[in-house]
Amino acid sequence: MTPQEVRDNDATVSNIRLWRPDILRENFESLQRIREYFVFRDVDVDRYELNGERRVVMLSAREVDQGSIPGGGTWQNQHLVYTHGFGAVAAQVNSASAEGAPQFTLSDIPPRGQPGLDTQPRVYYGENTLATSFVVVDTGTEELDYQGSGSEEQVTSRYQGEGGISMGGFLKRALFAWRFRDINLLISGLIEGDSRIMINRTIQERVPKAAPFLEFDGDPYAAIVDGRVVWIWDAYTMTTGYPYSQEVNLEDATPLSADFSGLRGSANYIRNSVKVVVDAYDGTMTYYVADPADPIIQVWVNAFPDLFTPIDQASSELAAHFRYPENLLQVQAFQYANYHVTEPGVFYQTQDYWAVPFDPTVSAGDVTQEEVPLRPYYLLMRLPGEDDETFVLVLPFTPLGRQNIVAWMAAKSDPADYGEIVVFEFPSGENVDGPSQVFSRMQQDARFSADQTLFSQSGSDVRFGDFLIIPISDGLLYVQPVYVRSSQETAIPELKRVLIANGGRLGYGTNLQLALNDSFGVAVVPPEDGEPSPDGTVPQQIARLLQQAVDHFAQAEEALRAGDLATYQSEIAAAQAAIERASELAARQRGETASPSPTPTPTPAG
């Protein structure tokens, strides 16, 4: 790609995701948990209108965990006071603070920022499977929203919704006490006739109870719609009885990973026929029929007409947050890898089968870790041949048994063209490096290798983000975030470096912009607020790199005098990397190809 192509696709570049969901969740837990009884269970990728511009953000609801109430919690606290979570947290996907922490767009309690959460920030129903089995609201005691700035200051409320079941008189209370084997439900003087008991509060148990004949995607996600938190969960209709169709083992097509679940069983027919929306405040469930042409869902709609709602009745604000489900694209890609072939002879001889490439970051540093395919990833990007950006789910392909990329698939999620899938194939005569090849090149970069050594010397743990392949114009940009977590018990992973591959060139920097600039030798993404580029002109960059090399050589000599051979080696590697980078920049300025420069070695004293 050229610098101009990157500038022309600024919306795509500015929404490149540098945060891995499980890494970001650790940051949310440390920086935004606020109190020990709040918890974040998952971080989801979605798009929102922020300051009049559509942006990709990562969001997580702040739920309650009664098991973490200070002092263990009395029965009254667990079931009548600490009843709900409060608010949500959202962060930009493409940037971090100078310290490597996420930059929040929505944070704190009460929640401040965008997307706005001002209608109803309370979360009674969610993903937290560790929450207590029931809570009772509208009782003789106030419910805790959160503790204020003072140790004794508490902000409380009373439930105003329609969620839960009325406790009623003595008989109903006795039945609930028997059901939960809890005599307090019967004898507590705080439970009144108008009190309501909330059960089945995790969406994982709540949603399938009403529709056990549906199968569900491995990743339900939170969204903020009209100022309140809702949960959206994609549901499938499946069968193994569709005529003349190959049966697929769904566990092979949707393999498990550390932070992502797959489907179970087998099927030769699957449709994302239903999208379930659960209100986090009152637990209301709406089963929207997303594929009315599906004959299986037609049967269920006829059997339970009051259960289902046509999807055109979903508000435009809600429909804007529907996503193409990841498990479905995995299954489709699993089959398309074979069935993209249309010539019978080629098909039966398996001459052009494809595969989803393995994620090179999963087994990095751990040869015992089993390889898993790349997980599909969401991008806000301009597809080739189109004028506007669209929110898509992307997955690349490699030839079966080989490492180079031959194609990539994108499923659209925006309402205007939801569900449309496009596949772009590369010319058969060209070799395009795949994830494992590019990741290997990145790890061999002298600058990163030196930094990795330095980071690891102090006992810190180097971790990798999701390996992303970003199609831009007619080229590909490979992006690899790098985090560092110190050895301190309370430390959190911080975004410290970004590696970029653009063709045969590697870019390296402390953030996305600097890595892009480094890959081209020029500033390709303007800094915010019109500030001059932190890299400066090419001669200034060369001068700075040469000074860095001199400094590293001086530090290497000091380490050698002290007998610290590990530091000596890493400083020499850092100096060599700076000299090679300066040589490369000088060659580009002259229009030449950089050649390796001999690396001077400091002479040990004495």
Q: 479: which 2 tokens? A: 């992006």
Mean pLDDT of the chain: 88
Contacts of 594 (CB under 8 A, 6+ apart): 580, 583, 584, 586, 587, 588
Q: Which residue has the higher pLDDT, 122 or 576?
A: 122
Task: Please say if the pLDDT value at position 258 is more than 70.
Answer: no
The H-assigned helical ranges of 15-83 are 21-31, 75-76
pLDDT at 538 (0 to 100): 67
Q: Helix, strand or coil for residue 369?
A: coil
Model confidence at 486, pLDDT cuts 50, 70, 90, reads confident
Model confidence at 570, pLDDT cuts 50, 70, 90, reads low
Task: Please say if the pLDDT value at position 528 is more than 70.
Answer: no
Q: What angle do CA 78, 212, 308 make, to 5 degrees?
A: 100
pLDDT at 151 (0 to 100): 57
Task: Please say if the pLDDT value at position 333 is more than 50.
Answer: yes
Q: Tokens 């499980």 identify what position?
A: 22
Task: Please say if the pLDDT value at position 458 is more than 60.
Answer: yes
Tell me the C-alpha distance between 401 and 353, whole Å: 9
The H-assigned helical ranges of 213-370 are 250-253, 295-303, 316-319, 326-339, 344-348
pLDDT at 589 (0 to 100): 60
pLDDT at 595 (0 to 100): 39
Model confidence at 583, pLDDT cuts 50, 70, 90, reads confident
> Which contacts of 73-81 are long-range, i.e. CB under 8 A and separated by 24 or more positions?
75/184, 75/188, 76/141, 76/188, 76/190, 78/132, 79/132, 79/134, 79/135, 79/136, 79/184, 80/135, 80/136, 80/139, 80/141, 80/143, 80/188, 80/190, 80/191, 81/141, 81/142, 81/143, 81/144
> pLDDT tens-digit profile of 28-63?
999 999 999 999 999 999 999 998 899 999 999 999
Tell me the C-alpha distance between 435 and 361, whole Å: 9
Task: Please say if the pLDDT value at position 271 is more than 90.
Answer: yes
pLDDT at 23 (0 to 100): 94
Give the residue from 557, 540, 538, 564 showing the smallest Cα distance to 600: 557
Tell me the C-alpha distance between 20 and 281, whole Å: 28
Q: Counting beta carbons within 10 angstroms of the beta carbon of residue 347, is it exposed (0 to 12), middle (13 to 18) or buried (19 or more)?
A: middle
* Spans of all domains in the chain: 18-201, 204-323, 336-425, 435-590
Task: Please say if the pLDDT value at position 253 is more than 80.
Answer: yes
| Contact criterion met (CB below 8 Å) for 250 and 266 | yes
Q: Helix, strand or coil for residue 264?
A: coil
Distance of CA 286 to the CA centre of its chain: 25
Model confidence at 601, pLDDT cuts 50, 70, 90, reads very low
Lowest mean pLDDT among 145-159, 199-213, 565-579: 565-579
Task: Please say if the pLDDT value at position 603 is more than 80.
Answer: no
Q: What is the mean pLDDT of residues 180-204?
A: 94
pLDDT at 312 (0 to 100): 95
Model confidence at 606, pLDDT cuts 50, 70, 90, reads very low
Tell me the C-alpha distance between 78 and 382, whole Å: 49
